[in-house]
Structure 1
Amino acid sequence: MSENAPGTQPLNQHFNEPLNQPRALRLGVAGPVGTGKSSILATLCRALAGELSMAVVTNDIYTDEDARFLRSAGVLPTERIRAVETGACPHTAIRDDVSANLDAVEDLEEAYGPLDLVLIESGGDNLTATFSPALADAQLFCIDVAGGGDVARKGGPGITGADLLVINKTDLAPHVEVDVAAMVADAEAARDGLRVLALSKHDAASVAELADWVRALLVRHRSGTHVPTDPGPMAPHSHGPGPGPGDGEGHSHP
């Protein structure tokens, strides 16, 4: 693999950081099924891989579909994209027992370090899924306009407490009769001053805003001024009938 391949730079040329920089920033990306989490990862890789050394870890219950999507998109060298098959409800592997994800992240850092940024994608889950601070230094939560203009008002720790809330697929708003400005206003009211970003992968300005947010977060991480916060545990819930652990049983997450 060429030293100049996207996402393989050993040193962030944009920031001109020394090689004894802190370990990679670990950014968790969560949100319901179909909101565009994998697309956001691909967008970030395309925007930042020319200046940062990056890797990705995806989570799915029984498949590596999200990892295969990213590999086929060519956004990073394929060996820098790892898949974790959780075998259980997706939030379990990002909050309750994060060992499989930590192993994947640490393997990537050992093989390709020093890394600047590791993106960790949760499997699709509900509005209350959050990452353990033991796994993610910061959290991006994703909802989309196709889920309805009232989604932000429904709350949940991901919506109210993640470091960044992305309202995705804004280009679809006219087709689903959603007022993006009103949806953003609802989200801002729910988040008590935390950042909200309306995003479309087809809108260069919003993509640049997302990339700049990650760059600024990385600066704070390297300087030691970013403090990981916990948006809060998932609400008690149950799973429908199925083969997975906990299916059909009510349970909560610490």
Structure 2
Amino acid sequence: MKKNLSKLLIIVMAIISISVFSNSCYDDNGDAVVTIHLERNDLAAMGVQYREGIIDKILNFFSTRAEAGGWQPTKTLVTLTVSSGCFNEQVFTISPTTTTFTTTLPSGCETTFTVTSSYDDIFMTYTFQKNWGGQTNLILTPGEQDIRIQILPMAFISGWNTVSHQVGWAEPSGSSAYTIVSYNIYRSTSIHGKYNYIGSSTNTPYIDSAIGGTTRYYYKLSTLSKLNDNILRESMTNDPKTWP
């Protein structure tokens, strides 16, 4: 009798262990446990631009350097935006010291992962920026998945000329370890729709001669860059601009 009870107990414990292990990988709905690895995020910190605060300017006028306590630059804020046609957009704020981030998402859908890094403007001492990022697309499958996103300098669309249909942007600033090759321009008739490639340019602006009328268009811009390994990579903006 004792032997039978012992065998039964062992079987029950084995079933519980298998269940716990399975749930650690993905839940009963077959969700994907996605681990995102941010590569070269250290170079994004080099994109910050220093701007003297008013106290610094006054004291520097009298040849005295101001060392105001608590006026240090904030670290890079990394934002991860996850978008898909199967679930609502999710936005995560990741610590700037983090190189990996794990989250659970529904599987079976094409999902876009967009990373951007920015800076906070504290007491008007440092310029707020949002000029580094990366993007990747894939169809998630149940279980554990690793995604690697290369952080690249990013250009942002600065405005439109509604007469000549020109797309203008601010060229990215940052590490000299990257070489900006060119920019790709994408257009859509829906802010959340598919953005189709319409052309490339090595400098700003780009003239979109194929549009007109009263249709509202949405544009995104990507930066094509090369690191020291000479591999061409693309970083896509996450802030579509409209025309008109």
TM-score, scaled relative to structure 1 = 0.26
Larger Rg: 2
TM-score, scaled relative to structure 2 = 0.27
Q: Which has the higher strand share?
A: 2
Q: Which has the higher helix share?
A: 1
Q: Which of structures 1 and 2 has the larger relative contact order (alpha carbons within 8 angstroms, sep 6+)?
A: 1
